[in-house]
Structures are given as C-alpha cells and as structure tokens.
Structure 1
Amino acid sequence: MRSPLARWSALADRVDGATPADRDRSVDALRALAILGVVLGHWLVTSLTSTDGGLRGVSPLAHMPWLAPLSWVLQTLAVFFLVGGHVAAQGYASARARGVGYGSWVRLRLGRLFRPVAAVLALWAVVAGGLLLGGAEPATVRTLLRLVWSPLWFLLVFAALTAATPLVVRLNPVWPALVVAAVDVWRFGLGGPEWIGWVNVVAGWLVPYTLGAAWARGAFVRRRPALLLLGGGAAGAAALVLWGGYPAAMVGVPGAAVSNLNPPTSAAVAFGLAQCGLALLARGPLARAMRRPRTWAKVALMNLSAMTVFLWHQTAMMSVTALGLLVSSDLPGLHTVPGTAGWIAARLLWLPVFAAALAVCWAAFHIHERAPRPRKAAGTPRDRRPGSLREVSHA
C-alpha cells in the first residue's frame, strides 16, 4: 500500500497533466490567495463572545485599533473582483468566438455561483428554526445568521457584475472610481443621505472588475501600469486615511462612525487599486511557482471548491465556537472578549481547529459546486476520471 505522501504526489501529477498547457495558472493562484485572505480575515477579526447564555459578535479591531494593518493584508476582495473580471471577460470573448450565446454563457457562470448557496440557505433555515424552537435568544440567532449572510451580499454584487460583463467589459475604471468619489463628497462633505452610499456597492467593486477586464485585453503586459496602480493607490489610500478622515481599517468595525467596506469608500477603492497593482506584479513569480506539480495541485483543487470554502468558512468557525460551549463558556480566544495580545495568541491556536471544521463542511457540501453531469447515451464509454480532474480546465 502506498503512503499518503506517495498518493498525494500521484494525484498532483495527474492534476498537473490534466491542466491545459495554455492555462494561466497565476490567475488561479491569485483567486486562491484572495479566498484565503477572506477566510483568515473573518476568522481573525470576527469573534463570538458568550453573554448570559447567548452569543454576540465582537470585532478585535473595536478593542485593539492598532490591529488595523491586519486588514490591509487580509481584506483581499479587490483581488477577488480583479480575477473575476479577467476570467469573465476572457470567458465571454471565448464563448462568442465559439458561437455560444449570452444566455447559455451567463447561465453556466451564475450556476457555478449559486448552486452552493442553496445548500447554505437550506441548512441555516433548519438550524435557525431549531434554535428558536429550542429556546435560543433571538439576538443570538440574528448574530449567527448575520455571519452566514455576510459573504452572500458580496456574491450578489459579483453575480450582478458577471451578468453585466458584455456592458462593462470596456468601461474605463476611472468612471466608477469617480462615482465613488462623488458619492463620498455628497455623503461626508455635503451632508447627503446615508442611503446614497449604497451606490458605491456596485461602483466600488466595478473598479477592480473593469481592471480585470482590461487585463484580459492585454492592458498590463508591461509592468509600468501595475507599478502606477500600486504606487498611486497606496499613496491615495494613505492620504485619505491621514488627512481625509477615513478609518485606517479596511473592514467594517462595529460601532465605528464610518466603514470603509459597507459600503466601499474612496479609501477602500484606492487601497484596492494598490492591491490590484501588487497582484498584477506578482503574476510572474506565481506563474513560476505554479510550475511545480504539488504546488499547482493545491491551488487547482482549492479553485474547484472556492465557493464552498467561501460560503462555509463562517459556519465552520461558529460550529467550533458552539461546540466549545459544551466544555466551557470562557475558552480563551474563542468566547473571551478580544481585547488583549493574549487573545490574539489564543486565536491563532484555534485556526487549525476552524480549518478542520471547514474540511468537514467541504466533504459534506462541495458536491453542490460541481455542474450536473450530462447523461451518457447507451453504449457510450464512461469517463472514470475523478471529477476534480475533469473540471480542472474549467475552474
């Protein structure tokens, strides 16, 4: 019997061999890094504390604002939208070249996004009903549902931009950036209504999405445009934080007067430009790293389950937190108030446990991310390759 290491090496070689030679593996690597940033970010800056038999959400950033630089590393949504725009623009152009209509193309793209969502919503509808019937506090149930739903609104924006790809694929990113700036001036400078800020939910993420479309058209073949994005975005974000009154954290902080993320502000857009520039500059090193079969296999398999990981990582964290209550309601780094450096150290020790819980969620629900298999005609030989290998070229 072969060892686990030998089996993994064999699988890695098969995944590497099943990948088309012309595939840009750096794109998959950037998507995997973006998803990993979101997961680690939520696990580190979201905490559930035990209060009077219930649970409430608390952010370490509210108690330790000096942790704001952590959000600069782990808030990777701009890279997620950059890659999404790049892949959608390329995919739509390829579909048109093959004679595939818009309807068929968009159904395929959105189906991959929304099939896993149905499983999350169905499970949590049952869980929420069971908790309420079992006497759980409504505030606790609302807290849990809010954490489950928080990734979904990003997914809705992403789906809307994907569906609008034919309309926005050639839009200059300057225009949505100007919309964000105008909305901010109206909100913060002219006393405009708060609701107008939600225009930036689309305009703000349209900036990296259209940058991705420009990338697909060859706009970043040379390094200079990416360097300008990195330098200009970083300088703009720093200026807005230092002198514009924007918060330093690039994620929402409960109780803060202004959030850079909900909805996106000019500071978040400038920060996203810097992230996109850095991501584009990293393509070369990432492409070289992806030539190693074992490294590539990890990234490829991660991409095949990207939506499962994205949708279920909060459930994994909450499951560990809830099960921890069976042992104690005061476990450091899990139920305690995140207000000290000791909490950070304890939280880091919980990350492998969260990852193990996420692996359980993946094993149970990743099947919903795969497209339904077409039915074979009688007498047609069956393709016995594992699903992950069949789908590598479409991830």
Structure 2
Amino acid sequence: MLTTVAGRLRAIATRVETATPPERDRAVDALRAFAILGVVLGHWLVTALVAEGGTLHTASPLGPMPWLAPVSWAFQTLAVFFLVGGHVATRSHASAAAGGIPYGRWLGARLGRLFRPVATLLALWTAVTVALLLTGADLDTVRTLVKLALSPLWFLLVFAALTAATPLLARLNPLWPLAVVLHVDLLRFGLDGPSWLGWLNLPAGWLVPYTLGAAWTRGELAGRRAAVVLLTGGTVATAALVLWAGYPASMVGVPGAAVSNLDPPTLAGVTFGLAQCGLALLLRDRLRVLMRRPLAWAGVALVNLSAMTIFLWHQTSLMATTALGLLAGRLPGLHTRPEGLDWVAFRLAWLPVFGCVLAVCWTAFRHREQEPRRSHPRGRYRGRFRGRGSRVVLVHRGGHATTGASDHA
C-alpha cells in the first residue's frame, strides 16, 4: 500500500513538474508557501482556547512563559507574504498593462482569488453564530469564537487595499512608509501622543515589505548586498528597540500586554519584518535549487493553489478540534491554561490533529478559491493539478510574463 501511495505521489509530482514553465521563479512560490504555513503554525502554537466555568476564552503561552518569544520570531512571517505579494502584483500589473489588459479587469481577477473563499467562511460562521445563540451559548464564548474565526480578514483587507494601489506604489521608496512608522511611534511612545495614532501604522507598516517587493521587481534587490543589509540592519535595529526602547520581545500580540508589535505594527515589528525580508531574499538561490525536486515543488504548488483556503480556515480548524475535544472532557494542551512546559508538549502533540481537521476543511472548501475552468482569450493552459479548475500555470502568448494560480494569492 505504501508503495502504491508513493507511486501516486511521484506521478502527481511529475505532472506538476511537466506543467511548470522552465522560466518560472519557483523561489517566489516557495517563499509564499512558507509564509502562509508559518502563520498557520504560529497561530496554532500561541493561541489557546481555555475552557473554564462553562465558557471558552483565549489565552497565550507567551504571557506566563515570555521566554517562548522566539517562537513568534520564527512563525510571524506576514512580512515575507507582503514582500512576495508586492513583487508578484507589480510584475503582474506591468505584464497586464503591456498586454493591453485594463486595470479593472486585472484587479478583479486578483481580488476575486482573495475574496471568493471569504463568502463561504462568512456564510458558515453566520450560521454557526445563529445556532450558538439560539441554543443559549454563553455570549462571551460566542464573541471569542467569532473574533478568532474572522481575525484573518483584517490581513486580507490590508492586502487587497495595497493590491488595488499597486500602480501608485510600484515606484514608491520603502523608506517613505518606514519614516511614517518611525514618526508615529515617536509621537505615541516618546511624546505620549494618543494611542489611535498607532493605527496609521496599519497601512504604513505593511507598505514597507510590499514596496520592497516592488523594488525586487525593479531589479534593485537582485544582489546579495541588499539582502545582507536588510537582514543585518533589521536585526540590529529590532534588538536595540527591544533591549533599550522598551518594545515587546514577542512579534505577535500577547493578551493583557500594554503594547503589541503586530496590532497595529510598531517600529520594532517593521524592522523585524525587514530582517525577515532580507533572509528571504538571501535564500532565493537555495530555494530555486530545492524546488527542482519534483516532490518538493508539488507540495509548494499545492499550498499556493489553496493559500487563501488554508489561511482562512486554519483558525476554524483549531476551534472545531477544541469543540469536539470537549466531548471527551477538559484535555491538556487543548482546553487548559498555557502555563508550563507540559502544556507546550501537549500542544505540539495536537498539531497533527489540527492539520487533519484543516485537511477536511481544505477538501470541502478549496474549490471556492479556484476560478471556473474556461478557455482563456489570451493564453493557454499548460497542465492542471488534481481537482476541478485548479490551474498550475498559465502562460501568456506574445512573450508576456508568466503568471499562475499562485500569482493571485
């Protein structure tokens, strides 16, 4: 049986390999896949739903165990996603403009891939919320679950806004939004300004890696020097801000903490993102070599084809596991307070279960992310991954840039 499964996997990997144009930069897809999976694993590791007194409330192991902060350094990878998103969007828009494709049509295609899966998520959670309220569920529990389920949407709204502004941002120097973040933090923390000023950093903070992606498209980050400067400068600046300026060491929010580096982004969060972007750029050549292996590339292609489905449903998978687990009682690492190494060990053991439940969600909802199968007026399909309407790559005729299913994420 194992031999049969291995043979089928190799056959699928061969099909994906054959369908991929040789000029495709697979490192871009690998970075996007790693960024999405990093966020998913990070949430599963630091988000606890504690069952106490008939209610569920969120908690984080980063509060009682601050020495776990390095976990957030490894898995808070949104800056890499915005880096890749800025690179792909600016390249895609330039290709569309060269091919005479109107801006509205280009934007509609990109945003459709982002928001088609959202409608399904909203419909399901509307039904779940109504059912919980009608059955007399605790209001605080309902609020906790809905907030957790819909929390990925803030990311999509910011990403969609930046995507829509791509023609205006294509040549923006990343130093401009970085300067905005710096001045906002100086006003907030240095001069005791109003806390609402921090929300100016929500667009400005994510503009930094997004415009770095545009600089990548322009060829300004082609060499190793720029990547080394970003990695070194970002690391040194973040360490200085944490050690001497009082910024939190965790790069994600911690319940009860006075300041979060993520919500909204702080200067430390942005400089940390710069370091991550530098590391990602340094790894490009190694990733290109790794992605020549058919099995590795097939896995990356699969994640890219379902990136939004994975991202949108990973919190629901955690909550579904938690709810079903309550049928067996209060389980360690799932319903207990995250206050010791035993919780960490149990939580690690729960990760495969979360993954299996997410696989069920992926099977049920992945078709919402894919465009209906149809002929393309300007191009031709070169192969399909398994599944209805799941494109691997789309190559435009006339020498235009290669695009693909993963390019819409």
Q: Give TM-score, length-normalised by structure 2.
A: 0.93
Structure 2 CA distance, aligned partners of 1:179 and 1:107?
30
Structure 1 CA distance, aligned partners of 2:171 and 2:161?
16
Residue equivalent to 1:179: 180
Secondary structure of 2:62's match? helix
The runs of 4+ residues in structure 1 deviating greater than 6 Å are none
**For the Cα contact (< 8 Å) 1:85–1:210, is it kept in 2?**
yes
Residue equivalent to 2:399: none
Q: CA deviation at 1:391?
A: 3.3
Structure 2 CA distance, aligned partners of 1:385 and 1:166?
31
Structure 2 CA distance, aligned partners of 1:365 and 1:277?
34
Residue equivalent to 1:162: 163
Structure 2 CA distance, aligned partners of 1:320 and 1:189?
44
Residue equivalent to 2:400: none
Structure 2 CA distance, aligned partners of 1:56 and 1:363?
29
Q: CA deviation at 1:373?
A: 2.8
In the TM superposition, what whole-angstrom CA distance separates every residue of 1:201-227 from its partner, at most 9, and x where no partner exists?
Answer: 000000000000100111121100100
In the TM superposition, what whole-angstrom CA distance separates every residue of 1:187-206 from its partner, at most 9, and x where no partner exists?
Answer: 11112111111010000000
**For the Cα contact (< 8 Å) 2:63–2:255, is it kept in 1?**
yes
Residue equivalent to 1:119: 120
Secondary structure of 1:115's match? helix
In the TM superposition, what whole-angstrom CA distance separates every residue of 1:342-379 from its partner, at most 9, and x where no partner exists?
Answer: 10000000000000000000000000000123379xxx
**For the Cα contact (< 8 Å) 1:304–1:392, is it kept in 2?**
no
Structure 1 pair 113–152 and aligned structure 2 pair: CA distance change class (3 A): same
Residue equivalent to 2:312: 311
1:275 pairs with 2:303: no
**For the Cα contact (< 8 Å) 1:15–1:392, is it kept in 2?**
no
Q: Which amino acid aligns with 2:165?
A: A
Structure 1 pair 324–181 and aligned structure 2 pair: CA distance change class (3 A): same
Residue equivalent to 1:352: 352
Structure 2 CA distance, aligned partners of 1:384 and 1:155?
26
Structure 1 CA distance, aligned partners of 2:43 and 2:222?
34
In the TM superposition, what whole-angstrom CA distance separates every residue of 1:294-352 from its partner, at most 9, and x where no partner exists?
Answer: 11000001100000000000000100000000001x21100010000010000000000
Secondary structure of 1:63's match? coil
Q: CA deviation at 1:385?
A: 7.2
Residue equivalent to 2:86: 85
Q: CA deviation at 1:392?
A: 3.2
Structure 1 CA distance, aligned partners of 2:32 and 2:134?
40
Residue equivalent to 1:247: 248
Q: Which amino acid aligns with 1:96?
A: A
1:5 pairs with 2:10: no
Structure 1 pair 174–152 and aligned structure 2 pair: CA distance change class (3 A): same
Q: Which amino acid aligns with 1:110?
A: L
Residue equivalent to 2:340: 340
In the TM superposition, what whole-angstrom CA distance separates every residue of 1:244-279 from its partner, at most 9, and x where no partner exists?
Answer: 110000000010011100000000010000000000
Tell me how many residue pairs correspond in the alignment.
389
Structure 2 CA distance, aligned partners of 1:113 and 1:263?
22
Residue equivalent to 1:380: none
Q: CA deviation at 1:150?
A: 1.2
Residue equivalent to 1:216: 217
Residue equivalent to 1:153: 154
Secondary structure of 2:57's match? strand
Structure 1 CA distance, aligned partners of 2:58 and 2:228?
38
Secondary structure of 2:151's match? helix
Q: Which amino acid aligns with 2:374?
A: P
Unaligned 5+ residue runs, structure 2? 377-382, 395-403
Structure 1 CA distance, aligned partners of 2:291 and 2:357?
27
Q: Which amino acid aligns with 2:197?
A: I
Secondary structure of 1:49's match? strand
Structure 1 CA distance, aligned partners of 2:331 and 2:288?
42
Residue equivalent to 1:18: 19
Q: Which amino acid aligns with 2:228?
A: L
**For the Cα contact (< 8 Å) 1:246–1:267, is it kept in 2?**
yes
What is the aligned-residue identity percentage? 64
Structure 1 pair 384–270 and aligned structure 2 pair: CA distance change class (3 A): closer
1:38-117 pair list within 5 angstroms: 38-117=39-118
**For the Cα contact (< 8 Å) 1:338–1:344, is it kept in 2?**
yes
Structure 1 CA distance, aligned partners of 2:135 and 2:239?
49
38-47 or 50-59: which moved more?
Answer: 50-59
Secondary structure of 2:63's match? helix
Q: Which amino acid aligns with 2:265?
A: P
Structure 2 CA distance, aligned partners of 1:92 and 1:323?
45
Unaligned 5+ residue runs, structure 1? 377-382
Q: CA deviation at 1:388?
A: 6.6
Structure 2 CA distance, aligned partners of 1:192 and 1:156?
27
Residue equivalent to 1:363: 363
Structure 2 CA distance, aligned partners of 1:323 and 1:185?
47
Q: CA deviation at 1:123?
A: 0.3
**For the Cα contact (< 8 Å) 2:370–2:389, is it kept in 1?**
no
Q: Which amino acid aligns with 1:189?
A: G
Residue equivalent to 1:379: none
Structure 2 CA distance, aligned partners of 1:390 and 1:355?
24
Structure 2 CA distance, aligned partners of 1:385 and 1:340?
43
Structure 2 CA distance, aligned partners of 1:171 and 1:344?
43
